[in-house]
Amino acid sequence: MNVSLILIIVMAVLFACGVYAMLERSLTRVLIGFLLLGNATNLLLLIVMGAPGVAPFFGAAASVEEMSDPLPQALTLTAIVITFAVSAFLLALIYRSWQLGQADTVVDDVADLEVRERGPEDEDTMDEETEIEHTDDDATTDFVGTDTAPITILGTRDFAGLRDDAPVDRPAQDPGGRSDERERGDDA
């Protein structure tokens, strides 16, 4: 199998440009980067497929070596569909972002900025608060007794019209009080 060096270089450039574009704050550039990554992936799958051959149908070729590999073709179709779906989602995000703020850039959230500016002392304080919360988890519960439990099991004693003949996973008892296992001779 002879792979063209030009195809490998083009694929590598597409991957590099796609990753670089996805690291930007502009959602439009993220979309362009994702499209470049999708095309680079399709090119990679075409390179992996090797030399084109006869369609892989039964009886279409004299030998297996003449047929092309169908797996990279199926993976390429799947990659195309996934790229299309994620691109449509990103386009919807870009449109909504443009409607709300007249810009498609992702800005830092106030909480993210606070986390970024937090020092080691604040981290220790947060760790201590988390430990206190974990110790309280065992002591508190919403349902302590059966009086406040959210599920009540009803039987024939609670309602006269209730039939209590649902199947159960217990061995059946015969009228003499012996179970089916004892009748089979399992109790030696």
pLDDT digits (tens, 9 = 90+) for 41-90: 999 988 888 777 777 777 677 777 778 778 888 899 999 999 999 999 99
The pLDDT of residue 87 is 94
Average pLDDT value for residue range 6-35: 92
Selected residue with higher pLDDT from 94 and 162 = 94
pLDDT digits (tens, 9 = 90+) for 93-150: 888 888 887 877 777 778 878 777 777 666 667 666 666 555 555 555 555 555 555 6
Rounded-to-integer distance, Cα 44 and Cα 13, Å: 12
Cβ neighbourhood burial of 24 (10 Å; 0-12, 13-18, 19+)? middle
Give the model's confidence band at 37: pLDDT under 50 very low, under 70 low, under 90 confident, else very high: very high
Rounded-to-integer distance, Cα 50 and Cα 79, Å: 18
DSSP state of 66: G
Of 90, 114, 86, the C-alpha closest to 104 is 90
Selected residue with higher pLDDT from 93 and 174 = 93
The pLDDT of residue 17 is 95
Q: Does 24 score more than 50 pLDDT?
A: yes
Rounded-to-integer distance, Cα 179 and Cα 37, Å: 67
Helix 27-49 to helix 5-22 angle, to the nearest 10 degrees?
160
**How far from the centroid of its chain's Cα atoms is residue 85's Cα?**
15
**How far from the centroid of its chain's Cα atoms is residue 18's Cα?**
23
The pLDDT of residue 187 is 47
pTM: 0.55
* Tokens representing residue 30 in the block: 């993220």
